[in-house]
Amino acid sequence: MPFDAQLVEAIRLAATRLAHDLVRVHPSFRFEERLAVRLGEAARAMRLRAAAGSLGSATPVPLRAPSPAVAASLDPLDAHSVRPLLVGGALTSAALSLAGAAWMAWRRSRPAPRSPMARAVRAAREARLVRGLS
């Protein structure tokens, strides 16, 4: 047999031997299930983090400061109009439901009463609501 043919034959035999003798080493069932549970927990944690917005990005809300003349004329108690309200994304506390967020947005959009009496009435009503909840 010529040298090249011998070499080819030896390589072919080696390949056949390796295909037969190098077996795949399967893990134990116990290991497989333990790791599956661990990966499941990791996947759930990733989903929660994504839902909490840690994988998202914050969008700055540009706010224009009022001119000094306008600022001087503003009632200091009526500061609601310049505070941004961030809903969704970064806030995922269980306490903040969509309905709660909608209520806060509606509440914030309402102009505060100008008269001291109206403000006092509103404060008293809110205090009653808080007492009723606690």
Partner 1 sequence: MRRSSGWTGTGRSSKPARRDPERFDALYRRYLAQVRSYAYYELGDHHDAEDATERTFLAALTNLDAFEERRPDDGDGASTFRVWLIRIARNVVANERRGRRRHPVAPLEAAGFAADTADVEAEVVRRDEMSAAWRAIGRLPADRRRAVVLRFVDEMSTPEIAGVLGRSEGAVRVLLHRALRSIGRELGDDRR
Give the nearer residue to partner 1 in terms of CB position, either 32 or 126.
Answer: 32
* Contact of 73 with 87, CB cutoff 8 Å: no
Considering only 7-15, 74-82, 83-91, 114-122, which stretch makes contact with partner 1 by CB under 8 A?
7-15
DSSP string, 57-112: -------PPPPHHHHHHS-TT--GGGS----STT---TT--HHHHHHHHHHHHSPP
- Window 46-105: residues binding partner 1 (CB under 8 A): 46-47
**Residue partners of 52: CB distance under 8 A and separation at least 6:** 90, 92
Q: Tokens for 13, please give them.
A: 């035999």
Considering only 23-31, 98-106, 107-115, 119-127, which stretch makes contact with partner 1 by CB under 8 A?
23-31
Q: Does 126 bind partner 1 (CB under 8 A)?
A: no
Q: Does 31 bind partner 1 (CB under 8 A)?
A: yes
Q: Which of 1, 2, 4, 19 is in the footprint of partner 1 by CB under 8 A?
A: 19
Binding site for partner 1 (CB under 8 A): 7, 10-11, 13-15, 17-27, 31-33, 35-40, 42-44, 46-47
